[in-house]
Amino acid sequence: MTIQHPSFGTLSDDRVIIFDTTLRDGEQSPGFSMNLEEKLRMAEALSDLGADVLEAGFPIASPGDFESVQSIARRFSKSGPVVCGLSRSAPKDILRAAEAVKEAARPRIHTFISTSPLHMSVKLRMTPEQVLEAVANSVTLARQHTADVEWSAEDGSRTEPDFLCRCVETAIKAGATTINIPDTVGYALPEDMTRIFAMLRERVPGADGVIFSTHNHNDLGLAVANTLSALKAGARQVECTINGIGERAGNASLEEVAMALRTRQEALGYKTEIVTKNILRTSRLLATITGFDVQPNKAIVGRNAFAHESGIHQDGMLKDRGTYEIMTPESVGWTTSSLVMGKHSGRAAFRDKLKALGYEVGDNQLNDAFARFKEIADRKKVVYDEDIVALVDDQILRG
Ligand code: KIV
Ligand code: ZN
């Protein structure tokens, strides 16, 4: 099934649109706000990374957010990613978003309203019929300003199925070209994603003419798994952020989704336009701008993602990197894997390290040096190259 999309033209079956929301949902995490200059630098990096859509901000939220979205739209006024502004369903929100994105070569308005019973009754204090009316009116108004309109059912994963179908049908009839079903509170399981997207594609008239999108929060650590499940059930747009930043526990991480799709392409069957070798530098730029490092064991971009300390693993790595690496570090922007010298390291890696440091030692010298290295390693968490140089030089001096 190919889809005609106002911003992307003809989309083949296997193409996944990467919608980056680092500058909007990502920025909503406490302590992660960015100023105009920082947002522009990130937008540039995200464009170099090959993100298809940049959700640049929430223009009604503040004059600063409006200015950031407008500046990013101006930056991509000739070509570049689709530039998107978020809005609630109120006309003043939509008009503000329309104004902010209008200079982009490919502008998008993303309008949303809550559809779950809890959100409608407690937060919005609206009846389901009033919500349906708001869906129709907001999408119709947005379509008067751009051909590319995304509609989201906030708390979609906790929405009653029949009502979700009615909302989606209403949004499609009013002209939405992308339909996003967020798991706003990170409550869904992968099988819920399969059920929801399969149901919408089967039951909603007009579903085969729009792009379905998935937007997952990570409260149970399932955001990426849920994203992949949604794709398998027919979603074609993934909403994600660099380093997985976002409200509370964050959003699905762009780098994890992109590398899962690439590494397991045979099993999953989808492709993206992400330039994967730019992943690490984009992640580092965000960390520098926000002042928040990623945790060492973070997939793809954590400092330990391609580091090996245990003797068994180091031995395997020296024989064939495929023994303990499922993708190359170079493919995501690292210069190389690292064999970290610590108390779990083995003789093979130690010999290799000595060689790299310029020492050719015989078996007896190696045994002595290795024994001393293990003593040091028991005292220190990591043994640095300088420690090893000092150890061997001392041994050579002592004869
Ligand atoms: O998580 C969410 O529901 C959102 C919407 C505004 C798309 O971020
Ligand atoms: Zn969100």
For residue range 135-167, what is the model confidence (pLDDT) as tens digits? Answer: 999 999 999 999 999 999 999 999 999 999 999
Supply the residue whose CA is at minimum distance from atom 5 of ligand 1: 154
122 in Cβ contact with 163 (< 8 Å) = no
Nearest of 242, 327, 224 to residue 279 by alpha carbon: 242
193 in Cβ contact with 229 (< 8 Å) = yes
User: Is the Cβ atom of 24 under 6 angstroms away from ligand 1?
Assistant: no
At 397 the pLDDT is 63
Distance of alpha carbon 285 from alpha carbon 298, whole angstroms = 16
What are the residues whose beta carbon lies below 5 Å from ligand 2 (ion)? 25
Distance of alpha carbon 14 from alpha carbon 393, whole angstroms = 58
At 388 the pLDDT is 94
Nearest of 48, 36, 26 to residue 73 by alpha carbon: 36
User: Is the Cβ atom of 152 under 6 angstroms away from ligand 1?
Assistant: yes
At 398 the pLDDT is 67
211 in Cβ contact with 234 (< 8 Å) = no
Centre of ligand 1 to C-alpha 340, Å, is 41
User: Is the Cβ atom of 25 under 6 angstroms away from ligand 1?
Assistant: yes
Distance of alpha carbon 147 from alpha carbon 106, whole angstroms = 9
Report the C-alpha dihedral over residues 145, 149, 150, 152, rounded to 10 degrees.
50
Rg (CA), the chain: 25
At 382 the pLDDT is 86
217 is in an annotated binding site: yes
At 1 the pLDDT is 64
User: Is the Cβ atom of 197 under 6 angstroms away from ligand 1?
Assistant: no
User: Is the Cβ atom of 186 under 6 angstroms away from ligand 1?
Assistant: no
Centre of ligand 2 to C-alpha 218, Å, is 10
Ligand nearest to the CA of 157: 1
Question: Quick one: 179 exposed, middle or buried, by C-beta within 10 A (0-12, 13-18, 19+)?
Answer: buried
215 is in an annotated binding site: yes
Instruction: Classify the complex by whether its ipTM is higher than 0.95, answering yes or no.
Output: yes
At 395 the pLDDT is 75
Supply the residue whose CA is at minimum distance from atom 2 of ligand 1: 184
137 is in an annotated binding site: no
Centre of ligand 2 to C-alpha 182, Å, is 7
Centre of ligand 1 to C-alpha 4, Å, is 25
At 204 the pLDDT is 98
Residue type, 175: G
Beta-strand pair 3-5/9-11: antiparallel
- Which parts of the chain sit beneath pLDDT 50? none
Which atom of ligand 1 approaches the CA of 25 most closely? 8
Supply the residue whose CA is at minimum distance from atom 1 of ligand 1: 184
Beta-strand pair 307-308/107-114: unpaired
Q: Can you say whether residue 155 is alpha, beta or left, with left for phi > 0 and alpha for psi between -120 and 50 degrees? A: left
Largest CA distance in the chain: 88
**SS3 call for 83:** strand
